[in-house]
Structure 1
Amino acid sequence: MTQAMKVSLSQQPAAAQWGSATVSFAADGAQIHLSDGDQARQIQAAARKLTQQGINSVSLTGEWTQAQQWRFAAGFGGTMDGGNIEWANDNEALDARRDAALWLKSLIHASPEALSPEVLADEVAERLCAVAPAHITTKRIVGDALLTAGWVGIHGVGRGSVRPPVMLELDYNPTGDHDAPVAIALVGKGITFDSGGYSLKPSASMVSMKCDMGGAATVAAALKLAIRSGLNKRVKLFLCCAENLVSGHAYKLGDILHYKNGTSVEIVNTDAEGRLVLADGLIAANEAGAERIIDAATLTGAAMTAVGGDYNALFTVDDQAASDALAAAAAGDEGLWRLPLAPFHANKCPSSFADTANSTTQKGGGAGGASNAAGFLSRFAGAPAKGWIHLDLAGVYSEGGNSMHHDGATALGLMTVTNLLLQD
């Protein structure tokens, strides 16, 4: 077994022979040299440098805050091997966080062939039931049974694949009261592979589309972590799982879907499929009577253009919900930025043949594409959509990696959703 490299923090610059290096080495280990400015990012970047040096086992020594250790963990390890970290303190809490983050990443990194919609639903149900078996019940609706149940979005998007689409409903109820109110409903986009359908993506854009179930992975991992952290209120989880493929059975441009809440939707872009499956999840969350609804999805390239990979995008029509979400992100040291969402955004995807289209014919949904997508979702979030939070996960995946993250899943958003679940 490789001996762990000791890593400590220093507020002093490296010795002269190291020049302006931010990481230096001695016989007893490595030092990260912090300077004025954003020290959290400095720690994360230093963890990347240590990983790139081939170091995969570290022991954090000396004075570290919990937040500093978590930032180090965010930058440490590779795509295939997360490495080993011995914490300086707060071992139990940090172990629980890292377990959730590594599980989240493993789901996103799984190949599309390995992670079908049913496998994703089963994996989430199995892992969460193992954490609190006495308090969790699950229900799966699969394939054509979705159509019978009225979940036309998940069925429509997933019908082009030979591997059936699934809605997973998971009920975590620690209260002992079968009639306890649902405090929060989580809704996750679980597109296990997105070809774009008949609005076919180019190969370069398709190669990373195993990450399109990042919303489902994020809310599932957050619920797992929140349960381990003492979550004491009833939460329902709805995962909307499908493969968006091209076949003789696939949904087509010009099709019209008729949702359970009475909304008709014309399909003008089969690559705007995430909002179609989330619409079912939002309706289900409202049917459950949830006091707050949180949905998470790798929904739009427009959000990525707006906030980059260091933030996720926040949409809500409720200022208190926005404050709660931003506070949850800040407490978890995660980037989250509120983008515009007004009632008029619900009408930004007009259709002559239905109540709304699922997008526009312009590339990326046109100007304001992320807000327009959120506006589409607002039609299904309740009337009024009080308490609803939509997270467009711009930063959940780093294609090719960078100075902060390895190639692949970042787990950005995990702590935001976890802290929202644990808020009073």
Structure 2
Amino acid sequence: MTELAALLQPDKGQPATTLALVDKAGFETWMKGQPERMRRAAEAQGFKGEGFQIAILPGERDEWSAVLGVADAGKLSPWCLAKAAESLPEGTYRLAAGGPGPAMLGWLLGQYRFDRFREKKEPKGPRILLTDAPARIADAVAEAEATILVRDLVNMPAGDLGPAELQAAVEEVAGRFNARVTVTQGAALDQNYPMIAAVGAAAVPARAPRLIELEWGDTRHPRIAIVGKGVCFDSGGLDIKPSSGMRLMKKDMGGAAHALALAGLVMGANLPVRLHLLIPAVENAVAGAAFRPGDILRSRKGVSVEIGNTDAEGRLILGDALTRAAEEKPELILDYATLTGAARVALGPDLPATFVNDEDLAAALLAAGEAVADPLWRMPLWKPYDELFSSDVADFANASDSAFAGSVTAALFLQKFVPEGTPWAHFDTFAWRPSGKPGRPKGGDALGLRAGWELLRTRYPR
């Protein structure tokens, strides 16, 4: 049993502290039904049935229970129990009525801490939740473990997570499922993936660029490709970022973290697919070997790209990776990338800008995100903006001189490397929470991961 699995256990009538769930609509009715001592305790703690409120209620002797405020007691969200999991004492709990359902995820993630670099770690005892649906425990644990993988990788300082360490993370996941990992680097990378090689050329040898590929599954099953941007640190290159813009660039491999976590979910559930995971892993550094504004790069696809800005590097490495993915003729391609600040300006941190070239796939993705409370927002692949990539000396440029529609133009650049007729979705995700919420602390986070997973497990049922 994993550490997370121990936090969810089947309800067999064992001793447990009771948690009542109350929303604002039912608050008055609930209050009227309580003994006077409980009403007084709830009033003293300012409990009004509002979301994430907690009040401790006295029992007959030494026992106690708690009442939790939720948005809708009739339809639990994944996060409605997260605050309780964060703050209640160590112990075993059960809901007063019904089962936790999707709230099991928040119960698990509410107990997440990234404290490996702290000398004094926050003490935490396990908060165990009993459930009347033990068959759902495995799925909740798998989704929580995938989310934690994303958080841990994104939170890791860039000095401790370069391309080699990202490769090791892929190999660790692959080892659990007997998947095959292939790594291309050095002269082979220069020859076969010239844009990946160019972006990572300025890094020191220990952080040399590479393309990491994982393959798994029965060759008789439909092939799918998952691609993730793995820029382990982005200085901006010679078009160097200001210090404020560089501060969070340890998270620029967040797309790779999402892709790896999604691949782990696919393999863990043994979906009937032939999986191809591709992670171009680089550091965009500043040194004499750095690629320059005005350089013309040849791509794996054969088209030439003029460099208008070395800080628009993620699309370059993804272009080579998407070309490689397309060579195997997958029936579906998903890519995750922390690609543009423009997506955050437009949509903020919570909504991944989602670009899809197929209407059926777009509808399925949006429905999947809504079903699991992992929202997406579709953005347009507006073809007239292709003209913004025009170049006098190459087939096209990697960046526009215009400040308009930055996330759209970045997605249009990627689309140039996806064969027409191949369903493809691109998630421009932030992979970061600038402020904390219950179950979702400040720092690295999975945004769009569970939506992608819901799509795949619905499209390819076991």
TM-score range, shorter chain: 0.7 to 0.9
Equivalent position amino acid for 1:420 in 2: L
Aligned-pair CA distance for 1:373 = 0.4
Match of 1:357 among 397, 403, 407: 397
2:157 paired residue number: 111
2:361 is the counterpart of 1:321: yes
Q: Comparing 120-129 with 13-22, which one deviates more in the overlay?
A: 13-22
From the superposition, tell whether residues 122 and 403 of structure 1 become closer, same or farther in structure 2 (CA, over 3 Å). Answer: closer
1:158 paired residue number: 200
Equivalent position amino acid for 1:25 in 2: I
Aligned-pair CA distance for 1:161 = 0.3
Aligned-pair CA distance for 1:372 = 0.6
From the superposition, tell whether residues 278 and 16 of structure 1 become closer, same or farther in structure 2 (CA, over 3 Å). Answer: same
Aligned-pair CA distance for 1:259 = 1.1
Match of 2:183 among 140, 150, 153: 140
d(CA) in 1 for partners of 2:455 and 2:282?
27
d(CA) in 2 for partners of 1:331 and 1:222?
17
Deviation digits for residues 258-277 of structure 1 (CA, Å, limit 9, x no counterpart) = 11222211111111111011
TM-score by length of 2: 0.81
Equivalent position amino acid for 2:95 in 1: T
Q: Comparing 305-314 with 216-225, which one deviates more in the overlay?
A: 305-314
Superposed counterparts of 1:11-410, under 5 Å:
11=23, 12-13=26-27, 15-19=42-46, 20=48, 22-27=53-58, 28-35=64-71, 44=79, 47-48=82-83, 51=86, 59=93, 61-62=95-96, 63-80=98-115, 84-89=126-131, 90-130=136-176, 132-133=177-178, 136-149=179-192, 151-162=193-204, 163-173=207-217, 175=218, 177=219, 180=220, 182-362=222-402, 366-382=403-419, 384-394=420-430, 396-402=431-437, 405-410=440-445
d(CA) in 1 for partners of 2:127 and 2:417?
43
- For the residue of structure 2 that corresponds to 1:44, the secondary structure is coil
2:453 paired residue number: 418
Give yes or no for contact 2:203–2:283 (8 Å, CA) kept in 1: yes
Give yes or no for contact 2:365–2:451 (8 Å, CA) kept in 1: yes
d(CA) in 2 for partners of 1:86 and 1:345?
53
d(CA) in 1 for partners of 2:212 and 2:160?
18
Equivalent position amino acid for 1:381 in 2: V
From the superposition, tell whether residues 309 and 18 of structure 1 become closer, same or farther in structure 2 (CA, over 3 Å). Answer: same
Equivalent position amino acid for 1:145 in 2: A
Aligned-pair CA distance for 1:170 = 0.7
Aligned-pair CA distance for 1:187 = 0.6
Equivalent position amino acid for 1:61 in 2: L
Aligned-pair CA distance for 1:338 = 0.2
Aligned-pair CA distance for 1:83 = 7.7
Backbone CA RMSD of aligned residues: 2.8
Aligned-pair CA distance for 1:32 = 1.6
Deviation digits for residues 71-95 of structure 1 (CA, Å, limit 9, x no counterpart) = 4445554443798453433322212
Give yes or no for contact 1:40–1:71 (8 Å, CA) kept in 2: no
Equivalent position amino acid for 1:219 in 2: A
Deviation digits for residues 137-164 of structure 1 (CA, Å, limit 9, x no counterpart) = 1110013321122x11211111110120
Equivalent position amino acid for 1:378 in 2: Q
Give yes or no for contact 2:142–2:265 (8 Å, CA) kept in 1: yes
Aligned-pair CA distance for 1:29 = 4.3
TM-score by length of 1: 0.87
How many aligned positions are there? 408
d(CA) in 2 for partners of 1:164 and 1:7?
52
- For the residue of structure 2 that corresponds to 1:113, the secondary structure is helix
d(CA) in 2 for partners of 1:242 and 1:98?
27
Give yes or no for contact 2:92–2:130 (8 Å, CA) kept in 1: no
From the superposition, tell whether residues 77 and 319 of structure 1 become closer, same or farther in structure 2 (CA, over 3 Å). Answer: same
d(CA) in 2 for partners of 1:235 and 1:195?
32
Deviation digits for residues 177-207 of structure 1 (CA, Å, limit 9, x no counterpart) = 4xx4652101100011111111111212212
- For the residue of structure 1 that corresponds to 2:159, the secondary structure is coil
- For the residue of structure 2 that corresponds to 1:240, the secondary structure is strand
Deviation digits for residues 343-383 of structure 1 (CA, Å, limit 9, x no counterpart) = 33333322222121111245xxx11110110011110011x
From the superposition, tell whether residues 403 and 289 of structure 1 become closer, same or farther in structure 2 (CA, over 3 Å). Answer: same
Give yes or no for contact 2:225–2:334 (8 Å, CA) kept in 1: yes
d(CA) in 1 for partners of 2:72 and 2:19?
20
d(CA) in 2 for partners of 1:5 and 1:204?
47
Gaps of 5+ in 1: none
Q: Comparing 343-352 with 304-313, which one deviates more in the overlay?
A: 343-352
From the superposition, tell whether residues 49 and 61 of structure 1 become closer, same or farther in structure 2 (CA, over 3 Å). Answer: closer
